[in-house]
Structure 1
Amino acid sequence: MLKEFKAFIARGNVLDLAVAVIIGAAFGRIVTSLTEDILMPLIGKVSGGLDFSGYFLRLGPVPAGYTGSPDDYAALKKAGVPLLGYGEFLTVAVNFVIVAFIIFLVVRAANKLVDLRSAPAAEPADVTLLREIRDELKRRP
């Protein structure tokens, strides 16, 4: 069983997948930072200084022992208050759109490279000329 596992791990597909997962996780962190630290504050600034991550609706009562702010989403969530965090959802949705767009650009570029590689090479001019001469000779009686 150990030999089979080693053979499975040594396959190129598994190693490629592992590398892709690791790079994907790092890429996800970069996009999350881009969204949370750059884009959403800019969007908040344009919309009047609003912080989208703080938009929520309380769906239940605040526990009696809660001493934090009633407007602190993270503290209320930590205290176990049921919340509808639509601002957090908006941030994650923007994050997703950015990731999807970047993946689209990468796939598009890769497809263009594949098309360039698979396109037949142009025939050299001397071969074309020789082909024309051959065809002309065939037409003569």
Structure 2
Amino acid sequence: MSMMGEFKSFAIKGNVMDLAVAVIIGAAFGKIVESLVQDLIMPVVGTIFGGLDFSNYYLPLHGQGTQLALVEAKKAGAVLAYGNFLTILINFVILAFIIFQMVRIANKTQKPKVEAAPVTPEDVILLREIRDALKNRP
């Protein structure tokens, strides 16, 4: 089979299409969670800690102070943007918790798989019938 034929066979499998849909929905869901964290949660957390904006927390690596906004500080030199990292970390924790809950609920709603009893081969059944017939013979 040619490489193009193999690719077509791979691409039209149901699992690949399901994965593509899941990635697209996951990206959209990630944006929703990102907005939730940046627009709703972090302002509340910032207010609790005295009205601070975590996205502008950084440590300059070039010796200047932290009076500049993060964007300006990055232009001036290298910085450790730990406030931005904190925001992304909270975003990840919330997203991971929501996905965990979704998987947990999905697992609870699935019916447990009942394994069928193994089917006895026909020749074994026939041999048992012969054995039983020989036992009952006078």
Structure 1, unmatched stretches of 5+, are 63-68, 121-141
| C-alpha deviation, 1:46, in angstroms | 1.4
From 25, 28, 52, the counterpart of 1:50: 52
Distance 1:70 1:93 in 2: 24
Q: Does 1:73 align with 2:70?
A: yes
Greater C-alpha radius of gyration: 2
How do 1:6-85 and structure 2 match up within 5 A? 6-61=8-63, 70-77=67-74, 79=75, 81-85=77-81
TM score, norm. by length of structure 1: 0.72
The question of whether the paired residues in 2 share the 8 Å contact of 1:31 and 1:98 is answered with yes
Count of aligned pairs between the two proteins: 111
| C-alpha deviation, 1:4, in angstroms | 1.8
Instruction: Give secondary structure in 1 for the equivalent of 2:68.
Output: coil
Instruction: Give secondary structure in 2 for the equivalent of 1:118.
Output: coil
Distance 1:110 1:87 in 2: 35
| C-alpha deviation, 1:70, in angstroms | 4.4
Q: Structure 1 runs of 4+ off > 6 angstroms?
A: none
Distance 1:2 1:80 in 2: 50
TM score, norm. by length of structure 2: 0.74
Tell me: CA distance 1:12–1:119, structure 2 relative to 1, closer, same or farther (3 Å): closer
Provide, for residues 31-53 of structure 1, a one-character-per-residue CA deviation record: whole Å limited to 9, x for no partner. Answer: 11111111000111111101111
